[in-house]
Amino acid sequence: MDVQQIISMLKPLVENLVEGEYQLIQLTGRSGPYTSEELKELVEEYGGKLTIPPDEDYKNINIIEVEEESEYFIEYELWVDGEKSDLTLSCTIRFTEDEVRIMIENIHVL
């Protein structure tokens, strides 16, 4: 498992969420089972404003190997109003011979 590669997939997704680029997330196949409107609702229901976390916070990713180093389940606590929150981004990262894909599984309070 290459943690840096996982971070390189997670970081742009978090940045897109912070910028409210839900349609871009959906168009690039990273929204999982959600539409762009549903992603927006999940974030807005929590309240506050998503903010960019400091780079060193990406060391706090919860990474669970799903099967033989080809798939990982990731949980990352998003930052709201400049502070770490309990609003958690859950996603799956799949490594194949051709590509690496990240997809949102849920955005929820842990």
Say what the pTM is: 0.92
Q: Model confidence over 21-43: pLDDT tens digits?
A: 999 999 999 999 999 999 999 99
pLDDT per residue as tens digits for the range 46-74: 999 999 999 999 988 999 988 776 899 99
Q: Is the distance from CB of 94 to CB of 77 less than 8 angstroms?
A: no
> Are residues 77 and 110 in contact, defined by beta-carbon separation less than 8 angstroms?
yes
CATH fold, domain 3-109, is: Nuclear Transport Factor 2; Chain: A, (3.10.450)
Where exactly are the structural domains of the chain? 3-109
